[in-house]
Amino acid sequence: MICSGKHCLKGTRIPVHMILNLLAAGEDHEGIKRAYPDITDDDIRACLVYASILADEEAGIRA
């Protein structure tokens, strides 16, 4: 899902980059879910998969 030009978690207006920034800052899944009660562990993992796909594309690696 795209919201204001940013990729968001499905069914939410929460941008993927916000979740990735929280993970990069050391926040754990429970802390993220407290801040955003509408998301699940699967949503958080989907953000990581998305980041991995983007990194692979940037490096020229194809799945």
CATH of the domain at 34: 1.10.10.10
Number of structural domains found in the chain: 1
Rounded-to-integer distance, Cα 53 and Cα 58, Å? 9
Q: What is the pLDDT of residue 58?
A: 76
CA angle 33, 50, 8 (to 5 degrees): 55
SS3 39: coil
Q: What is the pLDDT of residue 6?
A: 82
Only one residue has tokens 């980041």, namely: 51
Residues in the chain predicted with pLDDT less than 70, given as ranges, are 1-2, 61-63
**β-bridge partners, 8:** 15
Global confidence as pTM: 0.83
Distance of alpha carbon 31 from its chain centroid, rounded? 14
Domain residues for the domain of 50 are 2-59
Q: What is the pLDDT of residue 62?
A: 60
Cβ of 14: how many Cβ atoms within 10 Å?
21
